[in-house]
């Protein structure tokens, strides 16, 4: 191996180039030996994956178990809200509360809710009989101690010019029934049974009261409707598989019955399927629990696995046909598996970072763990199981067997005597191959289209300005979308779209969005409530809220009774002996914790209830209230916490969902930068970084404009976008920077001709496989479809439109290749002249 130093090139550049050459050739040599090993022992590499799939696949059926804790999956694992809930629960235990009016503020518990909605233009207040019938029917239910609070009217119209805000009419009323389960397992089972009966009762009452619309919700409804997506999506996933099988089979076919490989396209997709089944078996054996977010794993794994399948098929077509089939398999491995190994490693790194402790969403962590296992098995099955299939197909081709019927192809003389239909079915392409075409595989319809039509069109000088304008439009919309990103803390984004939970949430958002949920305000340290400055601080903290406060009620009681309580003993004595004994104030007993030290009583903790007025964007404003109140608990003299069960899902959700994609993106960029001087050409990594960044930002911006929020599904899709972009752009870019043609235009044509077929096959199969997701009535699958559609489309746009044009404008330059070829041509002409002078008798032959 000889390395020629370019004039003016530093010695360090030579050593880096030598190192890159050694690494590249070392990897190619390893992959060549791997291909030889597979081609010599195909039965072994076919049997081992099949046995693994049968073993782990059967175990997956026996150990299947759904995840029952939705909060554990989608709420941030480490959040201040959970600590605040623990503190609130320790201060005010649920079993000490007799009245259920506000005692469930620190845990949702078991409950049933119903919204009664009157027809448009009617007044719900005039439908009292129907409301009371519904209420009595619920109270008459058995199995579960319950109490109710009809605490909200919706669509309220006030009396004009009313000073006391009298209600003229209302469109809806919401009633909540809490169950006193106290955390007992037996009581919890009774509560679950009550909730099921409650939902059945609401459906029955809806049939009886046609003049009212009833929308019900129970504590288990969110989990049921979240898991419903998996049930609705099962048949659609099978349809997707059939579409991908059909597309892969057709795109791998040729008119040439000898060289066409339709069964290899089919077996390639089945290879990915059995690797996914094996990964699922390993997941369930390790006590994993299924959840609906895992529905995306087959699509993620298929997008990467079929890329390896189509690249190996393209690598097989680029091998020399006159070589033995074992050597052709080894050459295909040497050509393809180096890049496929690199992209598989990046998949493993990015999803491995997503499965790290830095990820704060359990659903994302579980998904990434499964993807890591799926990628490893995918890689193993591609080079073993599919490699063995390629060996057998190559042996059939070498022995001139039909690629579909597996029968011996007759001779050309025999075919000439047969009908046209028989010649068409049994033709091996010898008639289409002209004398100047050395590669009969160029008759593959995709390769023929790219070579004869598309390559010339996309590199046309008149097309390039329109491509630049197209990219500017793409970048503008992407940038505009990136400025409008919104977090997806709303759990409705993960539920089946036609479920009762979504209907309830839509009605609640429409008619009950004027006020926030009741927020518990917990004072967890002793406080001098009788001090005027403390009273002023409490009033300032509660300003802007509608407060249900024992403190305010007590101050009002003292004022009305004309009683003075300016010291500790009088304040606590009157509070215990007079205020809390009155029937209208007895429920405040559960909101104050007293302690006794000798003869002296102290208030060590208490709680208030706050309700904030909000607009239509209720959730965003509640998050803002939470973020404003928390810093005040540290800066003010009053030590308090604020909590509502919904805070567990909202608390720093935007940060929790964006951290995985930031870590994954950082990991990809770090790996590419660290290998900057180890790959065969540094500019290949540079262009790859630019391409991946452009695709990632494009998907992020466009999905925001398509009303996709940043929830756990969209974040997983963004992590996948990094890898999908690298999977398809890396072979194209590395082939371009290594090409030795005279001009950049010729180099990009060569790159598209070499890898364009595999890229187009894979992206087309991937996008067609997404179509059935449109017919799953679920917000989760809609998000999955939108994000993956944008991922495939943006990648296809860059590989076939943007990169082929922009690479003709910018480095790497191909001038030194041109100079080398000119030098070689000049040297060859000089040698020929010397031969002519020494052998004048052979001038004519020369």
Q: What is the DSSP string of 743-755?
A: SHHHHHHHHHHHH
Q: SS in 3 state form for 192-227?
A: HHHHHHHHHHHHHHHHHCCCCEEEEEECCHHHHHHH
Higher confidence at residue 257 or residue 653?
257
Sign for the pseudo-dihedral over CA of 375, 380, 385, 387: positive
Please give the Cα distance from 14 to 224 (Å, whole number).
64
Tell me which DSSP letter residue 228 carries. H
Query: 294-331 burial string, b = 16+ CB within 10 Å, else e?
Result: bbbbbbbbbbbbbbbbbbbbbbbbebeeeeebbbbbbb
Please give the Cα distance from 488 to 619 (Å, whole number).
10
Closest CA to 523 of 639, 632, 643, 645: 639
Measured in degrees and rounded to the nearest 5, phi and psi for residue 154 equal -120, 150
CB 608 within 8 A of CB 541: no
- In terms of average pLDDT, the best of 15-19, 682-686, 806-810 is 806-810
Mean pLDDT, residues 307-323: 90
Closest CA to 719 of 255, 349, 248, 214: 349
The angle at the Cα of 514, spanning 153 to 110, to the nearest 5 degrees, equals 65
Mean pLDDT, residues 377-388: 94
Please give the Cα distance from 512 to 622 (Å, whole number).
14
Higher confidence at residue 101 or residue 343?
343
Q: Is a pLDDT exceeding 90 seen at residue 506?
A: no
> Lowest-pLDDT range, 36-40, 377-381, 415-419, 447-451?
415-419
Mean pLDDT, residues 399-403: 80
Report pLDDT for 649.
77
Residue 824 confidence class, pLDDT cut points 50, 70, 90: low
Mean pLDDT, residues 673-694: 75
> Could you tell me whether strands 172-179 and 213-218 are parallel, antiparallel, or unpaired per DSSP bridges?
unpaired
Report pLDDT for 674.
63
Q: Is a pLDDT exceeding 50 seen at residue 326?
A: yes
Residue 811 confidence class, pLDDT cut points 50, 70, 90: low
Report pLDDT for 842.
43
Mean pLDDT of the chain: 81
Position of tokens 């999803």?
Answer: 351
Q: Is a pLDDT exceeding 70 seen at residue 436?
A: no
Write the pLDDT tens digit of every residue in 603-632.
888 888 888 777 666 667 777 777 777 787
Q: Give the 3-state secondary structure of residue 596.
A: strand
Q: Is a pLDDT exceeding 60 seen at residue 107?
A: no
Residue 512 confidence class, pLDDT cut points 50, 70, 90: confident
Residue 535 confidence class, pLDDT cut points 50, 70, 90: confident
Tell me which DSSP letter residue 358 carries. T
The residues, ordered by sequence, that sit 6+ positions from 427 with a Cβ below 8 Å of its Cβ are 255, 256, 257, 415
Position of tokens 């955390």?
Answer: 183
Please give the Cα distance from 404 to 412 (Å, whole number).
19
- In terms of average pLDDT, the best of 359-363, 411-415, 434-438 is 359-363
What are 719-722's contacts with CB under 8 Å, separation 24+? 719/350, 719/351, 719/354, 719/368, 719/660, 719/661, 719/664, 720/300, 720/303, 720/788, 720/791, 721/695, 721/696, 721/787, 721/791, 721/794, 722/346, 722/350, 722/664, 722/665, 722/668, 722/692, 722/696
Closest CA to 770 of 782, 758, 753: 782
Report pLDDT for 367.
94
Mean pLDDT, residues 776-787: 92
Please give the Cα distance from 438 to 652 (Å, whole number).
62
Mean pLDDT, residues 410-419: 74
Write the pLDDT tens digit of every residue in 536-578.
888 888 887 878 888 888 888 888 888 888 888 888 888 888 8
Higher confidence at residue 56 or residue 92?
56
> Could you tell me whether strands 111-117 and 172-179 are parallel, antiparallel, or unpaired per DSSP bridges?
antiparallel
Mean pLDDT, residues 171-183: 76
Mean pLDDT, residues 776-793: 93
What are 135-140's contacts with CB under 8 Å, separation 24+? 135/175, 137/201, 137/205, 138/112, 138/114, 138/175, 138/177, 138/198, 138/201
- Per this entry, what is the length of the chain? 846
Mean pLDDT, residues 645-657: 71
Mean pLDDT, residues 280-303: 91
> Lowest-pLDDT range, 227-241, 354-368, 646-660, 681-695?
646-660
Q: Is a pLDDT exceeding 80 seen at residue 586?
A: yes
Report pLDDT for 103.
40
Closest CA to 39 of 331, 321, 379: 331
Report pLDDT for 380.
95
CB 219 within 8 A of CB 111: yes
Q: Is a pLDDT exceeding 90 seen at residue 145?
A: no
Report pLDDT for 151.
58
Report pLDDT for 105.
57
Mean pLDDT, residues 494-513: 85
Please give the Cα distance from 238 to 273 (Å, whole number).
11
Mean pLDDT, residues 185-209: 84
* Share of residues in the chain with pLDDT > 70 (%): 85
Write the pLDDT tens digit of every residue in 31-43.
999 999 999 999 9
Report pLDDT for 10.
60
Element housing 487 (H / E):
none
Higher confidence at residue 156 or residue 149?
156
């Amino acid at each position: 191996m000889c390395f020629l130093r370019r004039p003016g090139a530093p010695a360090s550049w030579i050593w880096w180039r030598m190192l890159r050459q050694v690494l590249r050739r070392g990897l190619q040599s390893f992959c060549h030996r791997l291909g030889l090993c597979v081609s010599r022992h195909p039965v072994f590499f076919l049997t081992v994956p099949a046995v693994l799939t049968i073993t782990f696949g059967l175990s997956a059926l026996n150990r299947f178990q759904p995840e029952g804790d939705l909060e554990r999956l989608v709420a941030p694992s480490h959040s201040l809200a959970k600590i605040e809930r623990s503190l609130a629960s320790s201060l005010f235990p649920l079993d000490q509360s007799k009245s259920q009016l506000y005692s469930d503020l620190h845990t949702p518990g078991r409950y049933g809710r119903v919204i009664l909605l009157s027809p448009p233009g009617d007044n719900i207040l005039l439908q009292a009989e129907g409301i009371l019938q519904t209420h009595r029917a619920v109270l008459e239910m058995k199995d579960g101690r319950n109490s109710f609070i009809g605490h909200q009217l919706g669509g309220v119209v006030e009396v004009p010019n009313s000073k006391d805000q009298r209600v003229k009419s209302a469109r809806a009323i919401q009633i909540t029934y809490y169950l006193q389960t106290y955390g007992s397992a037996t009581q919890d089972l009774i509560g679950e049974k009550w909730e099921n009966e409650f939902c059945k009762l609401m459906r029955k009452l809806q049939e009886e009261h046609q003049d009212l619309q009833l929308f019900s919700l129970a504590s288990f409804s969110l989990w049921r409707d979240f898991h419903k997506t998996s049930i609705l999506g099962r048949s659609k996933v099978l349809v997707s598989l059939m579409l991908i099988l059909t597309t892969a089979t057709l795109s791998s076919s040729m008119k040439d019955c000898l060289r066409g490989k339709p069964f290899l396209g089919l077996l390639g997709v089945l290879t990915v399927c059995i690797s996914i089944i094996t990964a699922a078996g390993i997941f369930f054996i390790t006590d994993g629990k299924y959840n609906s977010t895992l529905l995306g794993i087959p699509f993620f794994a298929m997008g990467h696995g079929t890329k390896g399948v189509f690249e190996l098929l393209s690598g097989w077509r680029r091998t020399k046909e006159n070589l033995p089939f074992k050597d052709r398999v080894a050459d295909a491995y040497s050509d393809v598996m180096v890049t496929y190994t690199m992209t598989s490693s990046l998949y493993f790194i990015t999803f491995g970072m997503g499965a790290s402790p830095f990820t704060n969403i359990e659903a994302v962590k579980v998904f990434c763990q499964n993807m890591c296992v799926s990628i490893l098995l995918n890689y193993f099955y591609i080079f073993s199981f599919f490699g063995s299939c390629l060996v057998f197909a190559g042996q059939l081709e070498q022995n001139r067997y039909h690629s579909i019927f597996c029968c011996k192809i007759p001779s050309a003389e025999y075919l000439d005597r047969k009908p046209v239909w028989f010649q068409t079915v049994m033709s091996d392409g010898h008639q289409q191959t002209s004398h100047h075409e050395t590669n009969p595989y160029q008759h593959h319809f995709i390769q023929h289209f790219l070579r004869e039509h598309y390559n010339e069109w996309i590199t046309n000088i008149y097309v390039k300005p329109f491509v630049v304008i197209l990219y500017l439009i793409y970048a503008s919309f992407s940038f505009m979308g990136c400025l409008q990103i919104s977090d997806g803390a709303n759990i409705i984004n993960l539920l089946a779209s036609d479920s009762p939970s979504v209907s309830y949430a839509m009605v609640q958002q429409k008619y009950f969005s004027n006020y926030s949920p009741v927020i518990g305000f917990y004072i967890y340290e002793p406080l001098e409530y009788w001090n005027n400055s403390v009273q002023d601080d409490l009033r300032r903290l509660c300003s802007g809220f509608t407060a249900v406060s024992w403190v305010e009620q007590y101050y009002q009681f003292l004022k009305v009774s004309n009683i003075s309580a300016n010291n500790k003993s009088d304040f606590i004595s009157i509070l215990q002996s007079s205020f809390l004994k009155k029937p209208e104030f007895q429920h405040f007993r559960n909101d104050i914790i007293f302690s006794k030290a000798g003869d002296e009583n102290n208030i060590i903790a208490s709680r208030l209830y706050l309700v904030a007025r909000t607009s239509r964007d209720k959730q965003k404003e509640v998050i803002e209230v939470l973020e404003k109140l928390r810093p005040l608990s540290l800066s003010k003299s009053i030590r308090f916490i604020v909590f509502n069960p919904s805070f567990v899902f909202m608390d720093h959700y935007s940060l929790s969902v964006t951290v995985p994609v930031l870590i994954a993106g950082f990991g990809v960029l770090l790996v590419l930068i660290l290998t900057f001087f180890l790959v065969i050409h540094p500019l290949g990594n540079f262009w790859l970084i630019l391409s991946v960044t452009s695709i990632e930002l494009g998907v992020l911006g466009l999905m925001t404009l398509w009303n996709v929020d940043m929830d756990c599904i969209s974040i997983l899709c963004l992590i996948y976008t990094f890898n999908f972009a690298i999977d398809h752009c890396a072979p194209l870019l590395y082939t371009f920077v290594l090409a030795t043609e005279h001009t950049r235009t010729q180099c990009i044509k060569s790159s598209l001709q070499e890898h364009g077929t595999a890229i187009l096959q894979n992206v087309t199969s991937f996008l067609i496989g997404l179509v059935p997701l449109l017919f799953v009535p679920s917000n989760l699958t809609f998000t999955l479809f939108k994000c993956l559609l944008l991922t495939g489309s943006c990648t296809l746009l860059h590989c076939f439109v943007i990169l082929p044009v922009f690479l003709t404008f910018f480095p790497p330059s191909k001038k030194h290749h041109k100079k080398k070829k000119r030098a070689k041509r000049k040297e060859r002409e000089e040698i020929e002249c010397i031969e002519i002078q020494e052998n004048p008798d052979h001038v004519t032959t020369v």
